[in-house]
Amino acid sequence: MKASQFFISTLKEAPADAEVVSHKLMTRAGLIKKLGAGIYNYMPMGLRVIRKVEAIVREEMNRAGAVELTMPVVQPAELWQETGRFEKMGPELLRIQDRHGRDFVVQPTSEEVITDIARQELRSYKQLPKNFYQIQTKFRDERRPRFGLMRGREFTMKDAYSFDRDPSAAKASYQVMAQAYRRIFDRFGLTYRAVAADSGAIGGDLSEEFQVIAATGEDAIVYCPQSDYAANMEKAEALAPAGPRGTAVQALTKTATPGKSTCADVAELLGVPLSTTVKSLVLATDETNEAGEIVKTQVWLLLLRGDHDMNEIKVAKVPGLEGFRFATLGEIDEHFGCKPGYLGPIGLKKPLKIVADREVALMADWICGANEPDFHTTGVNWGRDLPEPDAVADLRNVVAGDRSPDGQGELAIERGIEVGHVFYLGTKYSRAMNATFLDENGKPQPLEMGCYGIGITRLPAAAIEQNHDERGIIWPDAIAPFTVVVCPVGMDRSDAVKATAESLYTDLLAAGVDVILDDRGERPGAMFADWELIGVPHRVTIGDKSLKDGMVEYQHRRDAAATKVAVADILAHVK
Ligand code: ATP
Ligand code: MG
Ligand code: MG
Ligand code: MG
């Protein structure tokens, strides 16, 4: 590619709404261009990165035996009604109508459609196992789209779905995917961790997230440096001993207001037993305007000690709490714009009512905990101006230094960006949609499923969070928009420079190197600044002076200075 033919558009200033470095740099480097909230154009430079991510994913998915297809972005609501998700899934699901008033959804994921395909196509055990995948546009009406491609509303996901005859075969398919994911993330050249994730009631231990390690990540992950134990905070807490940590202040329990706020009262209201596991319950009411947009949310947080599944509790059944809906902690995090994890399994000494605008959500000095001695934490702060993971860790059931569940050492906590997720589904969807196959005895059996996602467009953002400096992006070779840039200095003045640049460019191309020749005629300073911002990992500079000795200058994006290399040796340097 020649830069004069390509499209390069860099900016000095980052957009005002860009909070994280990847969003700033992707915009400044001209990789993306905002169209609306959480909706971006993938500009030519950015699309090259996305295509490379896709190519690696596609290659490894194919290698793992998955088969590619494409499902529609716009999907009939009927299928989503079969599983109940049309009603159940919150406002993240974009529902639309056609000219006849028929309901559709814009796919946030595709379990329903793939299960519909499977129930028609996978009729016999002889056709199993099967794994279908697509690399396709998704839409999730995220409550707080932000951080550029990191949390977009429209984004690209690779989603795969496995179909098997029984749980053990399904678990084997899950393991094939978990291994394929390791190969994929190894190839991206990023530092990542596969962590155990909560799989709800069905999956047992069969859910893992692939987290790119970055201080700005939205997820807290717990790992043991002495062993291979790693889990996301949610999962780690689910296994940890009950009881929020922090400064336990017994005296405060005396001031706790009795009434409907106590755990016992709430438990009684909900008709659940008080037992040993601490879980938090979040109730929220939304105030909407005439257009149906949420203008205000009121949130009540209560702490329950009870071993039960919150999703099973139907709020409508609870006297005095009609009109509320359950909100997940994630939703609350998003609403307040704070990093997930800031609201852990904490409760309040009385039902504190928060009425907050989308933008104003700073709450200081809360007292959290159950209405029971030694289960309180004081001075809890919520809000988006609290980037102190350590302070947050103190509020959790799991803190750095805890003994690892495998007994191998102490736990450490770091932050990550979820770029992939593998999940054993069991028969959740196949039963709801009556997707069966005939076994050897001609008996219909529900298909055993798994689902596997990769955030194709989130990945470049995660790569940048992990790899950048004050000058710009530093791409790993595997996903760089170009691997090598050839920068001739004074091309218009020197025939030798021009000729060498052209021949080097041709040779590199012939050797299969993804090279761009910067023939725009920019001054060296501006030219170098552009490529450092864009983050091309290898740069070859050609100037008259060193060329006289048959040399050019080579500089890796991480090198402090250039080194002289003979023209003939350049290929070895960049390959
Ligand atoms: P998150 O916890 O970040 O909201 P998720 O758990 O809802 O993600 P999954 O349903 O597991 O996401 O989807 C698979 C993958 O799709 C995620 O691992 C992530 O990489 C990507 N993804 C999810 N939501 C977004 C988004 N809004 N923008 C970009 N990528 C996303
Ligand atoms: Mg999500
Ligand atoms: Mg997640
Ligand atoms: Mg996930």
Whose CA is closest to atom 3 on ligand 1? Answer: 418
Report the candidate in 437, 395, 507, 377 with the shortest Cα–Cα distance to residue 163. Answer: 437
Angle, CA 516 vertex, CA 44 and CA 565 arms, to 5°: 150
Which position has the higher pLDDT, 363 or 294? Answer: 294
Q: Is the pLDDT of residue 269 over 50?
A: no
Q: Is 151 in the pocket of ligand 1 (CB under 6 A)?
A: yes
Q: Report DSSP letters for 10-42, one per residue.
A: --SS--TT--SHHHHHHHHTTSEEEEETTEEEE
* Whole-number Å distance between alpha carbons of 550 and 250: 78
Q: Is 453 in the pocket of ligand 1 (CB under 6 A)?
A: yes
Q: Is 181 in the pocket of ligand 1 (CB under 6 A)?
A: no
Under 8 Å between Cβ of 395 and 388:
no
Whose CA is closest to atom 18 on ligand 1? Answer: 420
Q: Which residues are near ligand 4, the ion (C-beta closer than 5 Å)?
A: 421
Q: Is 419 in the pocket of ligand 1 (CB under 6 A)?
A: yes
Residue 453 banded pLDDT, cuts 50, 70, 90: very high
Q: What is the pLDDT of residue 340?
A: 36
Please write the tens of the pLDDT for every residue from 437-451: 999 999 999 999 999
Please give the structure tokens belonging to residue 110. Answer: 């595709």
Please write the tens of the pLDDT for every residue from 495-537: 999 999 999 999 999 999 999 999 999 999 999 999 999 999 9
Which position has the higher pLDDT, 220 or 307? Answer: 220
Q: Report CA(207)–ligand 3 centroid distance (Å).
A: 11
Residue indicated by tokens 């509020």 = 395
Please write the tens of the pLDDT for every residue from 347-379: 333 333 332 222 222 243 444 443 334 444 444
Average pLDDT over residues 325-335: 47
Q: What is the pLDDT of residue 324?
A: 41
Q: Is 340 in the pocket of ligand 1 (CB under 6 A)?
A: no
Atom of ligand 1 nearest to the CA of 419: 20
Average pLDDT over residues 374-387: 38
Q: Is 198 in the pocket of ligand 1 (CB under 6 A)?
A: no
Which position has the higher pLDDT, 519 or 280? Answer: 519
Q: Nearest ligand, CA of residue 109?
A: 1
Q: Is the pLDDT of residue 164 over 50?
A: yes
Atom of ligand 1 nearest to the CA of 153: 27
* Whole-number Å distance between alpha carbons of 386 and 393: 12
Q: What is the pLDDT of residue 295?
A: 55
Which helix (H) or strand (E) segment holds residue 533: the answer is helix 524-534
Strongest mean pLDDT among 162-166, 216-220, 376-380: 162-166
Question: Which segments of 83-129 are extended strands (E)?
Answer: 94-97, 103-106
Whose CA is closest to atom 16 on ligand 1? Answer: 455
CA 123 to chain centre: 35
**ipTM of the complex model:** 0.99
Q: Report CA(456)–ligand 1 centroid distance (Å).
A: 10
Q: What is the pLDDT of residue 201?
A: 54
* Whole-number Å distance between alpha carbons of 448 and 358: 41
Q: Is 52 in the pocket of ligand 1 (CB under 6 A)?
A: no
Which position has the higher pLDDT, 256 or 563? Answer: 563
Average pLDDT over residues 128-132: 98
Residue type, position 85, single letter: R
Report the candidate in 163, 128, 230 with the shortest Cα–Cα distance to residue 424. Answer: 163
Whose CA is closest to atom 24 on ligand 1? Answer: 151
Atom of ligand 1 nearest to the CA of 152: 28
Q: What is the pLDDT of residue 220?
A: 84
Atom of ligand 1 nearest to the CA of 109: 10
Q: Report CA(417)–ligand 4 centroid distance (Å).
A: 10
Q: Is the pLDDT of residue 297 over 90?
A: no
Q: Is 158 in the pocket of ligand 1 (CB under 6 A)?
A: no
Q: What is the pLDDT of residue 481?
A: 98
Task: Tell me the pLDDT of the chain averaged across its residues.
Answer: 79
Q: Which residues are near ligand 3, the ion (C-beta closer than 5 Å)?
A: 418
Instruction: Ligand 1 pocket test: pick from 418, 451, 456, 457 the residue with the most ligand atoms within 8 Å of its Cβ.
Output: 418
Q: Report CA(305)–ligand 2 centroid distance (Å).
A: 26
Residue indicated by tokens 């994921």 = 109
Atom of ligand 1 nearest to the CA of 145: 27
Atom of ligand 1 nearest to the CA of 108: 10
CA 456 to chain centre: 10
CA 484 to chain centre: 29
Average pLDDT over residues 111-124: 98
Lowest-pLDDT range of 57-71, 201-215, 482-496 = 201-215
Residue 282 banded pLDDT, cuts 50, 70, 90: very low
Which position has the higher pLDDT, 475 or 413? Answer: 475
Which helix (H) or strand (E) segment holds residue 382: the answer is strand 376-382
Q: Is 420 in the pocket of ligand 1 (CB under 6 A)?
A: yes
Residue 184 banded pLDDT, cuts 50, 70, 90: very high
Report the candidate in 356, 351, 381 with the shortest Cα–Cα distance to residue 366. Answer: 381
Q: Which spans in 404-519 are helix H?
A: 428-432, 458-466, 495-510
Residue type, position 273, single letter: P
Q: Is 140 in the pocket of ligand 1 (CB under 6 A)?
A: yes
Atom of ligand 1 nearest to the CA of 140: 27
Please write the tens of the pLDDT for every residue from 40-93: 999 999 999 999 999 999 999 999 999 999 999 999 999 999 999 999 988 899
> Helix 458-466 crosses helix 21-28 at what angle (to 10 degrees)?
110
Q: Is 341 in the pocket of ligand 1 (CB under 6 A)?
A: no
Strongest mean pLDDT among 210-224, 232-246, 251-265, 321-335: 210-224
Q: Report CA(144)–ligand 1 centroid distance (Å).
A: 13
Average pLDDT over residues 105-123: 98
Q: Report CA(369)–ligand 2 centroid distance (Å).
A: 27
Q: Is 157 in the pocket of ligand 1 (CB under 6 A)?
A: yes
Q: Report CA(421)–ligand 4 centroid distance (Å).
A: 5
Q: Is 331 in the pocket of ligand 1 (CB under 6 A)?
A: no
Q: Is the pLDDT of residue 541 over 80?
A: yes
* Whole-number Å distance between alpha carbons of 44 and 38: 19
Average pLDDT over residues 16-38: 95
Residue 309 banded pLDDT, cuts 50, 70, 90: very low
Please give the structure tokens belonging to residue 329. Answer: 């902690």
